């Protein structure tokens, strides 16, 4: 994205303006969307007790009812994973030479225990201007909007130039689960092949009073990779200690990791973020953002940004100790000591490079650095072209004049980590403005503002139409 786009700061507008009248009781289209969303939230799709395939089948029924032929709707489940399925559907474009636009959403949700929640997590509850329930914000709101888009486009006889594809998948929320988007990219590539995909990642940002701060667009994600540090020793009786001790070696290694900070790296996504956020944040931090974009070696400016956990993570690879396991008896010298180091690797950097750096930092041949498994391919950023950014700016400017659009680099990871390496650039954009508390996603009492969801529906409906063209 251009700096000019990112820096288009004027003032923010209060949430709800122009949408204040949105009422499902008075708008049959909105009512139908509401029912779709409700059905998704109320279909449990946790890994432990839920069924993504059931949720996908229900969404497929809605597409069929809207007139999509069976040949254009594929409910699937990967072999051996009957409840971890999804659905892919297509609205055919008029130009067979033009690549499709893919609307991608995961429909699985993080575990939620009724006993821990104030309200039933699997009932869509509306209270004080919010939708409450597991998945209301991550990301059954956007999944329901995608289904609703498909239904609306069909209903109004929209003939796009490019095909519009929908993919609802499972397995995004649980690291050990089979990832549906990755499975499709490997096994059913034709079904989801596209010029680019849109999915979750970041949203619109509200301040505590509900004023819109910025609309974020996610274009790059880090790769999550675990490393195991391990020291071994013949051990012995603890009454006869010696300096060569597996726990001591390991602890020194972990300490060395804790003291190391990876160098700052810039790409289009975080450069766009800091350039765009500088005037919004203002003051010392705002000046530091501009200084770092200009010179990533400006250590004084970097130190200011490093005070913020989010900014610190967006600037570089990070590694942190997450688990320890050592010794076998209280009265024995340890034979083995092991630590898990979880690294979030900057887009485009191979895991071997970080492994080599860890070996160098630890500088102890008695401590091995290995990887238990390679979670996925190296995360590659999606290019921030005008083709992608201009329609976002166009629709956003129309709905929310003056609200700046800011690109972001996500320290976490979504399904984009499987799509980008497969050659389908994937962007996180929802147009759903969320509270500074993040809507408690993954936590208790997940929620999202009702008006935000309805606005996001309007935004994404118009955006995908623009991308698909006529
Ligand atoms: Zn999610």
Q: Which pairing describes strands 164-169 and 101-106: parallel, antiparallel, or unpaired?
A: parallel
Can you give the pTM of this predicted structure?
0.87
* Spacing, Cα 301 to ligand 1 middle (Å): 32
* Spacing, Cα 84 to ligand 1 middle (Å): 15
Nearest to 467 by CA among 368, 383, 388, 380: 388
Torsion angle of C-alpha atoms 416, 419, 424, 426, degrees rounded to 10: -10
* Spacing, Cα 306 to ligand 1 middle (Å): 26
- Unique residue bearing structure tokens 């954009």: 429
* The pLDDT value given to residue 21: 64
CA 305 to the chain's CA centroid: 22
* Spacing, Cα 442 to ligand 1 middle (Å): 9
* Spacing, Cα 137 to ligand 1 middle (Å): 8
- Unique residue bearing structure tokens 């659009």: 405
* Spacing, Cα 236 to ligand 1 middle (Å): 49
Which residues neighbour ligand 1 (ion) by CB within 5 Å?
138-139, 200
* DSSP codes, 346-369: PTT--HHHHHHHHHHHH--TTEEE
* Spacing, Cα 8 to ligand 1 middle (Å): 28
* Spacing, Cα 389 to ligand 1 middle (Å): 22
* Spacing, Cα 448 to ligand 1 middle (Å): 13
* Spacing, Cα 108 to ligand 1 middle (Å): 8
**Encoded tokens for 390:** 């201009």
- Unique residue bearing structure tokens 């008029």: 94
* The pLDDT value given to residue 459: 97
**Encoded tokens for 391:** 């329609």
* Spacing, Cα 239 to ligand 1 middle (Å): 52
Contact assessment for residue 206 and residue 433, using Cβ atoms and an 8 Å cutoff? yes
Distance, in Å, from the CA atom of 216 to the CA atom of 345, rounded to the nearest integer, reads: 21
* Spacing, Cα 439 to ligand 1 middle (Å): 12
Nearest to 304 by CA among 319, 322, 286: 286
* Spacing, Cα 200 to ligand 1 middle (Å): 6
* Spacing, Cα 355 to ligand 1 middle (Å): 28
Torsion angle of C-alpha atoms 42, 43, 47, 51, degrees rounded to 10: 170
Distance, in Å, from the CA atom of 166 to the CA atom of 184, rounded to the nearest integer, reads: 12
* The pLDDT value given to residue 22: 81
* Spacing, Cα 52 to ligand 1 middle (Å): 14
Distance, in Å, from the CA atom of 2 to the CA atom of 387, rounded to the nearest integer, reads: 12
- Unique residue bearing structure tokens 């096994």: 187
Nearest to 326 by CA among 318, 314, 317, 335: 335
Geometric angle at alpha carbon 414, from 34 and 111, rounded to 5°: 65
Give, in words, the CATH class of 9-201+412-468: alpha beta
Per-residue pLDDT of the chain (470 residues; tens, 9 = 90+): 233 333 333 334 455 445 656 889 999 999 999 999 999 999 999 999 999 999 999 999 999 999 999 999 999 999 999 999 999 999 999 999 999 999 999 999 999 999 999 999 999 999 999 999 999 999 999 999 999 999 999 999 999 999 999 999 999 998 778 999 999 999 999 999 999 999 997 788 898 888 999 999 998 888 889 999 999 999 999 999 999 999 999 999 999 999 999 999 999 899 999 999 999 999 999 999 999 999 999 999 999 999 999 899 999 999 999 999 999 999 999 999 999 999 999 998 999 999 999 999 999 999 999 998 876 677 777 888 999 999 999 999 999 999 999 998 888 888 888 898 889 999 999 999 999 888 888 889 999 999 999 999 999 999 999 999 98
Distance, in Å, from the CA atom of 351 to the CA atom of 369, rounded to the nearest integer, reads: 12
* Spacing, Cα 18 to ligand 1 middle (Å): 28
Element (H, E) at 406: strand 405-410
Nearest to 152 by CA among 470, 469, 460: 460
* Spacing, Cα 412 to ligand 1 middle (Å): 10
């Amino acid at each position: 994205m251009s700096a000019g786009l990112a820096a288009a700061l004027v003032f923010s507008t209060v949430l709800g303006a122009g949408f204040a009248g949105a009422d499902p009781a008075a708008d049959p289209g909105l009512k139908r969307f509401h029912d779709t969303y409700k059905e998704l939230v109320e279909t449990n799709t946790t890994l432990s007790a839920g069924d993504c395939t059931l949720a996908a089948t229900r969404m497929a029924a809605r597409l069929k009812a809207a007139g999509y032929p069976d040949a254009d709707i594929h409910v699937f489940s990967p072999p051996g994973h009957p409840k971890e399925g999804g659905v892919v559907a297509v609205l055919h474009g008029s130009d067979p030479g033009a690549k499709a636009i893919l609307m991608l959403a995961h429909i699985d949700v993080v575990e939620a225990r009724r006993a821990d929640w104030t309200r039933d997590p699997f009932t869509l509850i509306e209270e004080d201007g919010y939708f409450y329930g597991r998945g209301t914000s991550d990301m059954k709101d956007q999944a329901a909007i995608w289904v609703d888009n498909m239904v609306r486009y069909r209903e109004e006889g929209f003939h796009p130039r490019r095909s519009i594809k929908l993919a609802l998948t499972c397995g995004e929320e649980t690291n050990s689960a089979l990832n549906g988007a990755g499975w499709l990219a490997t096994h059913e590539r034709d079904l989801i092949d596209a010029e680019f995909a849109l999915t979750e990642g970041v949203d619109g940002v509200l301040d505590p009073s509900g004023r819109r701060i910025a609309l974020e667009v996610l274009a790059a994600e880090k790769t999550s990779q675990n490393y195991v540090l391990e020291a071994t020793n013949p051990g012995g009786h603890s009454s006869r200690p010696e300096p060569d001790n597996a726990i001591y070696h390991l602890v020194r290694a972990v300490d060395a990791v804790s003291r190391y900070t990876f160098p700052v790296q810039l790409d289009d996504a975080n450069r766009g973020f800091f350039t765009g956020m500088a005037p919004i944040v203002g003051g010392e931090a705002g000046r530091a953002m501009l200084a770092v974009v200009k010179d990533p070696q400006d250590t004084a400016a970097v130190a200011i940004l490093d005070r913020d956990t989010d900014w610190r993570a967006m600037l570089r690879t990070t590694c942190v100790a997450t688990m320890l396991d050592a010794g076998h008896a209280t009265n024995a010298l340890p034979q083995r000591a092991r630590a898990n180091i979880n690294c979030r690797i900057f887009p485009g950097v191979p895991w071997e490079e970080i492994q080599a750096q860890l070996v160098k930092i630890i500088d102890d041949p008695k401590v091995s650095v290995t990887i238990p498994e390679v979670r996925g391919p190296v995360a590659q950023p999606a290019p921030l072209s005008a083709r992608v950014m201009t329609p976002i700016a166009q629709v956003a400017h129309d709905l929310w004049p003056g609200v700046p659009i800011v690109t972001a680099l996500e320290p976490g990871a979504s399904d984009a980590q499987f799509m980008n390496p497969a050659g389908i650039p994937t962007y996180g954009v929802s147009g759903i403005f969320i509270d500074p508390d993040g809507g408690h996603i993954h936590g208790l009492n997940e929620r999202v503002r009702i008006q935000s969801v309805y606005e996001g529906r309007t935004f994404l409906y118009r955006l995908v139409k623009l991308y698909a063209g006529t």
